[in-house]
Amino acid sequence: MTLVPGVAAVNAVFVGVGYALLARSLRSRSWSERASWAGVALLLGAGAVGTLVFFAAIAGVRSTLAAAAACALAAAAAGLLVGFELPQRAARPSNSLLLGVFGVLAAICVLGLVGGFRSAPWLDDAWGIWLPKGLALWHHGLDERLFVPNGEYVAFGVPDYPLWWSVVTSLDVQAVGDLDVRVMDAQLALLTVAFFGAVARLLWGFVRPEVFAPSLLLLACCPELWRHVQGGIADLPLAIYVALSVLTTVLWMRSRASFHLLLGAFGAVVALQIKTEALPELAALAVVGVALCRDRRLVFASLAALASALPWLTWRWAHDVPSRTGDLDFARVDRIPPTLESVFGHLLDPTEWLVVVPLFVALALLARRPRLLLGPGAILLIVVVAYWIDRDEIRYVLDTSAYRVIDPIVLTAAVLLPLLAEAFLQQRQPLREDRRLVGEP
Amino acid sequence: VSAARWLPAAAALALALVPWSANPFYRLAGGDGDGRDPTFDVPLDPSPLRAADFPDDLPYITEAPGASPLAQGNLKAAGQLYLARQLPVQDRRRAEVRVQYRDGRVVFAQHG
Question: A96–B91: do the CB atoms touch at under 8 Å?
Answer: no
Phi, psi torsion values for B102, nearest 5 degrees: -130, 105
Question: Residue A207's beta-bridge partner residues?
Answer: A204
Q: What mean pLDDT value characterizes chain A?
A: 94
Chain A interface test: which of B2, B23, B32, B36 (most A C-beta within 10 Å)? B36
**Angle (nearest 5°) at CA A183 between A180 and A188:** 160
Helix (H) or strand (E) holding B110: strand B105-110
Confidence of residue B1 (pLDDT cuts 50, 70, 90): very low
**Checking DSSP bridges between strand B59-63 and strand B105-110, what pairing results, if any?**
unpaired
Chain B partners within 8 Å of A179 (Cβ): 36, 50, 81-82
What tens digit of pLDDT does each residue of A16-59 get?
Answer: 999 999 998 888 888 888 999 999 999 999 999 999 999 999 99
Using the Cβ of B90 and the Cβ atoms of chain A, whether some distance falls under 8 Å is answered with yes
Confidence of residue A89 (pLDDT cuts 50, 70, 90): low
ipTM above 0.85, yes or no: yes
Count of Cβ atoms closer than 10 Å to residue A5 Cβ: 13
Decide if A58 contacts A311 (C-beta within 8 A): yes
**CA A418, chain centre distance (Å):** 17
Chain B partners within 8 Å of A96 (Cβ): 2, 4-5
Question: B36–A118: do the CB atoms touch at under 8 Å?
Answer: no
Confidence of residue A391 (pLDDT cuts 50, 70, 90): confident
| Least trusted range by pLDDT, from A164-178, B25-39, B45-59 | B25-39
Question: A111–B16: do the CB atoms touch at under 8 Å?
Answer: yes
Question: B12–A108: do the CB atoms touch at under 8 Å?
Answer: yes
Decide if A115 contacts B27 (C-beta within 8 A): yes
Cα–Cα distance between A55 and A282 in angstroms, integer?
20
- What is the DSSP code (8-state) at residue A95? S
Question: A154–B5: do the CB atoms touch at under 8 Å?
Answer: no
Q: What is the pLDDT of residue B31?
A: 65
Decide if A2 contacts B36 (C-beta within 8 A): no
Nearest to A354 by CA among A198, A163, A225: A225
What tens digit of pLDDT does each residue of A190-206 get?
Answer: 999 999 999 999 999 89
| Least trusted range by pLDDT, from A104-108, A268-272, A282-286, B82-86 | A104-108
Cα–Cα distance between A189 and A170 in angstroms, integer?
16
Collapsing DSSP states into helix, strand and coil, what is residue A62? coil
Q: What is the mean pLDDT of residues B85-109?
A: 94
CA distances from residue A277 to A88, A161, A233, B54 in whole angstroms, order as listed: 35, 9, 14, 38
Nearest to B41 by CA among A228, A156, A390, A400: A400
Question: B28–A227: do the CB atoms touch at under 8 Å?
Answer: no
Name A107's Cβ contacts closer than 8 Å, sequence gap at least 6: B9, B12, B13
Confidence of residue A235 (pLDDT cuts 50, 70, 90): very high
Chain B partners within 8 Å of A132 (Cβ): 77, 80-81, 84
Cα–Cα distance between A240 and A187 in angstroms, integer?
13
Q: What is the pLDDT of residue A441?
A: 55
